[in-house]
């Protein structure tokens, strides 16, 4: 199984890098895990709606260029479906049971994801209505993917 994150922007914070590296190491016994970073679009603070759409479109094109046809895609979106850790674990297990061995998670930039990226996604997932920095979301998502594997293994990690 391949788990890939396609994310906008570089991770600069050492503490996030360390946390993600730890979970990536733990995940290595379950899957091939990778993170693909696409450049964020440089933009001034006060953007018009047209400029925001332009920034999102550029980032969206970069994201879509990193997704292959056969990949099952989860787009992280505030309005996506919320799941419990157990539901998420079952969903991942079911996907692999039904032949989806390439699973991709997309985390957009600060403005979010374009309709084109959301349309390409097989499903949208939400971690609640909080707005979180996309750098922190990478760490949270990595931990939740690891937790899903541990739940599916019957490990006490989840307790």
- Domains of the chain: which residue ranges? 2-40+49-153
Tens-place pLDDT, residues 1-14: 999 999 999 999 99
Q: Does residue 43 carry a pLDDT above 90? A: no
What confidence score (pLDDT) does residue 130 get?
87
Binding site listing for S-adenosyl-L-methionine = 76, 108
pTM of the model: 0.96
Span 30-38, average pLDDT: 98
Q: What are phi and psi of 137, to 5 degrees?
A: -60, -35
User: Considering the chain, what is the average pLDDT of its residues?
Assistant: 95
Instruction: Tell me what the mean pLDDT of segment 100-112 comes to.
Output: 95
Instruction: Report whether pLDDT(115) > 80.
Output: yes
Annotated binding site: 76, 108
What CATH class does 2-40+49-153 carry? alpha beta
pLDDT at 85 over 90: yes
């Amino acid at each position: 199984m391949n788990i890939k994150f396609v994310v906008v922007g570089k991770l600069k914070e050492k503490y996030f890098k360390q946390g993600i590296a730890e979970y990536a190491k733990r995940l290595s016994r379950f899957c091939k895990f990778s993170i693909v970073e696409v450049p964020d679009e440089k933009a001034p603070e006060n953007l018009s709606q047209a400029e925001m759409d332009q920034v999102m479109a550029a980032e969206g094109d970069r994201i879509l260029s990193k997704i292959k046809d056969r990949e099952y895609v989860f787009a992280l979106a505030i309005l996506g479906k919320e799941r419990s850790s157990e539901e998420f674990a079952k969903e991942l297990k079911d996907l692999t049971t039904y032949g989806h061995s390439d699973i991709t998670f997309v985390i957009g930039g600060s403005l979010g994801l374009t309709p084109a990226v959301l349309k390409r996604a097989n499903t949208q997932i939400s971690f609640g209505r909080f707005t979180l920095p996309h750098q922190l979301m990478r760490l949270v998502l990595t931990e939740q993917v690891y937790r899903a594997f541990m739940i599916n293994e019957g490990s006490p990690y989840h307790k």
